[in-house]
Amino acid sequence: MGFFEFIFAVFFGIVIFGLLYGIISQIANRRSRKAGPQVIRGKNVKCIACQNDTFRTKRVLLNTAGLTYLGMDWLNRSAEVLICEECGFLNWYMKN
Ligand SMILES: [Zn+2]
């Protein structure tokens, strides 16, 4: 294998990996995860609208125009959204 073929193969490997990662994370994001009480920094979270303490969670991408234009949404940062089971209020958290 020549040098340029090697570079080509590595490049394609990265592209394929990126596409697969994007597809898999999109499928995973579609499902809302675990319901029930949520703990952030050691404290039980309460809905700021109705004081309820049970939520569904969902991971949501914070899109930037540039990366979305390039079709590389999977590089964007994501946030954890707690959806109040009582009133549906969205409580957004950036973790880390
Ligand atoms: Zn609520």
**Residue 71 identity (one-letter amino acid):** G
CA of 50 to the centre of ligand 1 (A): 4
CA of 36 to the centre of ligand 1 (A): 13
Beta carbons within 10 angstroms of residue 69's beta carbon: 10
Contacts with 91 (C-beta within 8 Å, 6 or more apart), sequence order? 45, 47, 48, 55, 81, 82, 83, 84
pLDDT of res. 12: 92
**What does CATH list as the number for 32-96?**
2.20.25
CA of 38 to the centre of ligand 1 (A): 13
Distance CA 72, CA 78 (A): 13
Distance CA 60, CA 55 (A): 15
Provide the 3-class DSSP secondary structure of residue 81: strand
CA of 32 to the centre of ligand 1 (A): 17
Q: Which residues surround ligand 1, an ion (CB under 5 A)?
A: 47, 49-50, 52, 84, 86-87, 89
* Domain regions of the chain by residue span: 1-31, 32-96
80-90 mean pLDDT: 92
Q: How do residues 9-56 score in pLDDT, each as one tens digit?
A: 999 999 999 889 888 877 766 655 567 888 878 888 899 999 999 999
75-86 mean pLDDT: 85
CA of 91 to the centre of ligand 1 (A): 9
